[in-house]
Amino acid sequence: MDDFGQLVKHKRKGKGLSTRELSRQVGMSSAYISQLERGLVKRPDYDVAKRIADVLGIEESVLDYFGFVPDEVERQMQVEIERELEHRRELKAAYVSNLSEQLQTMDLESLETTSFILNQQMDVARKLYEISLIGDRQAMVTIKEFIDFMHSKHVVVD
């Protein structure tokens, strides 16, 4: 089943419960249960899903499958994401600072060469991105094979 509401309806009917009886047992309105089963409520809160699961005998692993996680776990995940984002911002700042120092020590010819190479790489990356948006996997594989071939021509293997 693709939808939690469909599963709820299937399990509820299997247990011979009406929407009114299920709603009474989980402490929700029968209108809410009906909307959930018809797909009008896409994603109930974890606590609601857990109460419904407990009444209908739906295992915790099924809740996991549908992406329900306890609020405290979700909060912890959010804290970890924020921590990781902050770490990435710090790395980015360090990289930018380091790059800025390196660029300041380069002569004009080196800067022009670096700019030329960067522009070429950005153009190639943009074209690869556009191909990926089209979804042409075979073209991406062919391009990767060509890049690998060109790389092998220029790299001396010991």
16 vs 75 pLDDT, higher one: 16
Give the chain's mean pLDDT. Answer: 88
Specify the CATH number for 4-65; select among 1.10.260.40, 3.30.530.80, 1.10.10.10, 2.40.30.10.
1.10.260.40
Please tell me the predicted confidence (pLDDT) of residue 137. Answer: 81
Average pLDDT rounded to a whole number, residues 7-33 = 95
Question: What's the rounded Cα separation, in Å, for the pair 57 and 135?
Answer: 42
Nearest to 15 by CA among 69, 45, 58: 58
| H or E segment and range at residue 32 | helix 30-37
Tell me the domain boundaries of the chain.
4-65, 70-105, 108-158
Question: What's the rounded Cα separation, in Å, for the pair 91 and 96?
Answer: 9
One-letter amino acid for residue 38 of the chain? R
**Structure token digits, residue 17:** 């419960």
113 vs 139 pLDDT, higher one: 113
Average pLDDT rounded to a whole number, residues 83-88 = 94
Please tell me the predicted confidence (pLDDT) of residue 96. Answer: 93
Percent of residues, the chain, with pLDDT higher than 70: 96
Nearest to 22 by CA among 62, 65, 51: 51
**Structure token digits, residue 155:** 């790299």
Residues 6+ apart with CB under 8 A from 38: 5
